[in-house]
Chains A and B, each alone.
Chain A
Amino acid sequence: MIKSSVTISTLGHAILLAWGLVSFSAKPFDSATAESLPVDVISSSEFSQMTAGVKTAPMAEAPKPLVEKVAPHPKPVKDTTAKISEKPEIEAAKADAPPPAPQVKPQPEQKPPEEKKPDEIAEALKTEVVKPPPAPKKPPPPKLDMSKIENKLALLDKREQRRSAAIGETLNATPTLGAATGQSATLSQNEIDALRGRLRDCWDVPVGVADARDLFVVVRIQFKRGGDLDNEPIITNRLSHPAFQVAAESVLRAVRKCAPYTFMPAAKYDVWKDIEVKFDPREMFRG
């Protein structure tokens, strides 16, 4: 009697605990991920080291263009001419020709039709069910007897050389702003805001554009090292909106008018040398 109550009690507690484990597992609070503001603490000596020039250094002719990426040592490429396959083909060990499927024996039901039962459909269904042929017996895998192989070259893999397409030098070449977990060298929020603020101040929005809904312009801006425009800015979207051309011209005017962008951090030139930004007057709709 006591034993059974103890069992029930234990069982009950166990269930309660288990239920608690499941239901009380707190859901992590979803907080909006803000972009990080990197703060570096450097000593004054470090700072002077960073900014100091060398008086004895030879005069530089012209700044060399930066390469996109500095490779420490070029990785040996195995065979670039090799065909790219999505996945290496998997070839199953070939078995000998499977034994011929056993022939379906003539069924004994093959009787004169008049003897058939009235339920013809059921019969018809029955007869259609053909038993699958028994799986062919696999012969025992051939044992590799090295001594029997006369020509060892036969062991070489004679398939064409392949490399897998999924493997590359880098996983993703697109630099990110590094949302919450930004690890790459990025512009800080302040630097981005400085650029955005400058563009916003330079953008005189034509009234027909300010009032339009669903009208936006995406522009690609390429910079030189000092903040000058490297190329003419390029509009990369196209809308059929009647005021689109006027909007696009106003954006180009803004980008040109603002140049040069001397405030951009020279050290992070690689990050901002080529940017794309969307001009969307959505906050300007007339009340």
Chain B
Amino acid sequence: MRDDHFSVQRSGFSRRGLLLGGMAAGVYAGLRPRDAMAQLRIPDITSGNVQPIPVAIPDFLAGSPNEGDVPRNISGIITNNLRRSGLFIPIDQQAFIEKIANFDNNPRFPDWRQINAQGLVTGRVTRQQDGRLKVEFRLWDVFGGTQLHGQQFFTTPDYWRRIAHIISDAIYERLTGEKGYFDSRVVFVDETGNKAQRIKRLALMDQDGANVRYLTRGQDLVLTPRFSPATQEITYMSYGQGDPRVYILNTETGQREIVGNFPGMTFAPRFSPDGQRVVMSLQQGSNANIFVMDLRSKATTRLTDTPAIDTSPSFSPDGARICFESDRGGKPQIYVMAATGGPAQRITFGEGTFSTPVWSPRGDAIAFTKQGGGKFAIGVIKPDGSGERILTEGFHNEGPTFAPNGRVLMFFRDPGGEGGPSLYSIDLTGRNEQRVQTPSYASDPAWSPLLV
């Protein structure tokens, strides 16, 4: 009897096991054959188009009647940002079929498919009781009929421009898979007066040329401003009465201090990626060497020791290496060495001279100015010395600086003659060159990191 009981139990157990197994097999059978049975695998698609993405950006809606021009201005800035990047084509508002009337409803996707928009940006601006501005936006995938992104911001009304840049960055990142660069600023040297007596002032503006403000008054000559990659600080070279000196300026507080106290001229400063050190050139007699100074301890380390002019040092984004310009081989060329100094490897060998190297924030390229044949070109090269490419060439192009995402460069161009230099941006393909509007002549641009 007891035996029977046990056997029953055991068989029950095994039945459960069978059931489980059967279930597993059923699940497997339910999934497997569909996948395996009739599926045809065709060879990989290994390339596609890189062409601007058509996006539709209707004017943002006003949440209440007294918003004024702000809603339209915000969508205008977004449109302008995306167009300037070269990666998007904002579709002309005249072509729109649907008029977005309600921010909370789904748009009629077929209407937008009709005009071939791939992305659609809708938004609404509402002034709150407390005087703040609420800005909402949605990014729609027109072909998928889904919302890709949506955010809302609260801000003081003065900051509507930044909100527009932040929204542009969000759209850029969501559609390209890369960080944007619109919410950033550019410091440059503003030049006024005639050619013999230029007044040079440090100026700061949004990357699209808006909101220009001046950081120095113009008594002293300023050169080579550089943004800290980590803080809102600028280092630059300035000289009035005495020797040229390297300064650090805090753009928020306006505080200014001299970097180090060296016997000779210091120039070509640049921050390390963490913003804690400044690397620069120090002239000693007829040659110049590269030094790095810790901003907190003021400890200075010599990195090169040659009878040549070593200048324009720039850290790699990981802080492990430094690229710089040196004429130790006869003509100025670009070299790469460890951030602690030591032997340097020459990476440029072409005709002409190479100068003002700057390492991309992505780490995969070094931009330079190349001079030869009576022309100045802006180009990029890989840090190992391969893949040199010229992006633009002309009478005088100089001083490249990378946007925070490393896809766009800004530089200055001097057409010669009586005129003065102005700022231009170009993307890494070299195809999308744009003039950057400045109040007067401008040179030596330097891009800030994203403001965050």
Q: Which residues does A use to contact B, with CB under 8 Å? A: 68, 173-175, 177, 187, 192, 195-196, 199-212, 216, 220, 242-243, 245-247, 249, 252-254, 256-257, 270-284, 286-287
* Residue B276, interface by CB 8 Å: no
Task: State the CA gap A36–B314 with chains docked (Å).
Answer: 56
- Residues in B with CB closer than 8 Å to A212 are 177
Q: Are A287 and B389 interface neighbours, CB within 8 A?
A: yes
Instruction: Give 8 pairs: A residue, B residue, CB < 8 Å, sorted on A.
Output: A175-B39, A203-B48, A204-B118, A206-B176, A246-B176, A252-B143, A270-B38, A279-B48
Task: Find chain B residues with CB under 8 A from A284 CB.
Answer: 46-48, 50
Q: Report yes or no: A243 in contact with B178, Cβ–Cβ below 8 A.
A: yes
CB distance from A254 to the nearest CB of B (A): 7
Q: How far is the CA of A84 from the CA of B42 in the complex (A)?
A: 35
B48 touches A277 (CB 8 A): no
Q: Contact at B40–A187, with CB atoms within 8 Å?
A: yes
Query: Which residues of B4-37 have CB atoms within 8 Å of chain A's CB atoms?
Result: 33, 36-37
Complex: chain A residue closest to B86, CB-CB: A207
Beyond A207-B407, A253-B141, A256-B144, whether A275 also contacts B41 by CB under 8 A is: yes
Interface presence of B428 (CB below 8 A)? yes
How close is A121's CB to chain B, nearest CB, in angstroms? Answer: 51
Task: Name B144's contact: one of A201, A204, A253 (CB within 8 Å).
Answer: A253
The yes or no answer to B342 lying at the interface (CB within 8 A) is: no
Q: What CA separation (Å) do A90 and B440 show in the bound complex?
A: 97
Measured between alpha carbons, how far is A253 from B120 in the docked complex, in Å? Answer: 14
**Chain B 397-414 per-residue mask, 1 if CB under 8 angstroms from chain A, else 0:** 000000000010000000
Question: Is the CB of B217 closer than 8 A to any CB of chain A?
Answer: no
A-B contact count (CB 8 A): 127
| Residues on A with beta carbons closer than 8 Å to the beta carbon of B45 | 196, 199-200, 203, 277-280
Is B53 on the interface with A (CB-CB < 8 A)?
A: yes
Q: A187 to B87, alpha carbons, bound, how many Å? A: 37
Q: Which residue of A lies closest to B37 (CB)?
A: A173
Chain A residues closer than 8 Å to B141, beta-carbon distance = 249, 253
Min CB distance, A282 to chain B, in Å?
A: 5
Measured CB to CB, the closest approach of chain A to B370, in angstroms, equals: 17
Chain B neighbourhood of A210, CB < 8 A: 48, 50
A177–B33 Cα distance when bound, in Å, is 18
Question: In the complex, what residues of B have CB within 8 A of residue A199's CB?
Answer: 45
Q: Are A283 and B36 in contact (CB under 8 A)?
A: no
CB-defined contacts of A281 to chain B, threshold 8 Å: 46-48
Residues of B within 8 A of A253 (CB): 118, 141, 143-144
Closest to B175 in A: A206
Cβ–Cβ < 8 Å partners of B43 in chain A: 192, 196, 277
B148: chain A residues at CB < 8 Å are 249
Residue among A192, A210, A286 having the largest count of chain B Cβ atoms under 10 Å = A286
Given contacts A195-B42, A207-B178, 9 further A-B pairs with CB under 8 A are A196-B42, A205-B50, A206-B176, A208-B176, A211-B178, A256-B144, A275-B40, A283-B46, A284-B46
The smallest C-beta distance from A179 to any residue of chain B, in angstroms, reads 12
Contact A272 B44 (CB under 8 A): no
Inter-chain contact B144/A208, CB cutoff 8 Å: no
A245 to B174, CA, bound (A): 9
From A177, A196, A207, A282, B50 is in contact (CB under 8 Å) with A207
Nearest 4 A-B pairs (CB), nearest first? Answer: A208-B177, A243-B177, A203-B48, A208-B178
Please encode chain B, from 46 to 82, with 1 for each CB lying within 8 Å of some chain A CB and 0 for all others: 1111110100000000000000000000000000000
Q: Is the CB of B40 within 8 A of A278?
A: no
Hey, which chain B residues are within 8 Å of A246, CB to CB?
174-177
A160 to chain B, nearest CB (A): 15
**Distance (whole angstroms) from the CB of B178 to the closest CB of chain A:** 3
Beta-carbon contact of B144 and A174 below 8 Å = no
B350 at the interface (CB under 8 A from A): no
Cα distance A211–B178 when bound, in Å? 10
CA distance A282 to B53 in the complex (A): 21
> B residues within 8 A CB of A283?
46-47
A68-B39 contact, Cβ under 8 Å, with A199-B45, A281-B47: no
Of the candidates A192, A270, A281, the one having the most CB atoms from chain B within 10 angstroms of its own CB is A281
Contacts of B51 in A (CB 8 A): 204
Q: In the complex, A53→B113 CA distance in Å? A: 37
Residue of B nearest to A256 (CB): B143
In the complex, the answer to whether A278 meets B33 with C-beta atoms within 8 Å is no
Nearest Cβ in chain B — how far from A281, in angstroms?
6
Instruction: Give the distance in Å from the alpha carbon of A254 to the alpha carbon of B178 in the complex.
Output: 19
Judged by a CB distance under 8 angstroms, whether B285 is at the interface is no
Partner of B39, one of A208, A276, A280: A276
Choose from A175, A203, A204, A249 the contact partner of B40 (Cβ within 8 Å). A175
The CA-CA distance from A254 to B53 in the complex, in Å, is 12
Known contacts A68-B38, A256-B144, A275-B40; A206/B33 CB under 8 A? no
The answer on a CB contact under 8 Å between A249 and B178 is no
B387 on interface, CB distance cutoff 8 Å: yes
Closest Cβ neighbor of B174 among chain A residues:
A246
Per the bound structure, the CA–CA distance linking A155 and B358 in Å amounts to 93
Which of B47, B144, B428 is in CB contact (< 8 Å) with A249? B144
Cross-chain contact B42 with A275 (CB below 8 angstroms): yes
Q: A256-B143, A256-B144 are in contact. Are A205 and B41 (CB under 8 A)?
A: no
B401 to chain A, nearest CB (A): 20
How far, in angstroms, from A275 to B39 measured CA to CA in the complex?
A: 5
**How far, in angstroms, from A280 to B49 measured CA to CA in the complex?**
13
* B121 → A minimal CB distance (Å): 16
Q: Which of chain B's residues has its CB closest to A247's CB?
A: B177
The answer to whether A257 touches B143 (Cβ under 8 A) is: yes
Residues of chain B within 8 A of A243, CB atoms compared: 177-178
Chain A residues whose CB sits within 8 angstroms of the CB of B144 once the complex forms: 249, 252-253, 256
State whether A204 touches B38 (Cβ < 8 A): no
Cα(A249)–Cα(B295), bound, Å: 46
Give complex CA distance A204, B43 in Å: 19
Please determine whether A287 and B49 come into contact, CB atoms closer than 8 angstroms.
no
A205-B50, A246-B176, A246-B177 known; A286+B39 contact, CB < 8 A: no
Question: Which one, B41, B44, B177, B407, contacts A280 given CB within 8 A?
Answer: B44
Q: Are A271 and B40 within 8 A (Cβ)? A: yes
Asked whether B39 lies within 8 Å of A274 as measured between CB atoms, the reply is: yes
In the bound complex, residues from chain A placing their C-beta under 8 Å from that of B53 are 204, 206
Question: Nearest chain B CB to A245's CB is how many angstroms away?
Answer: 8
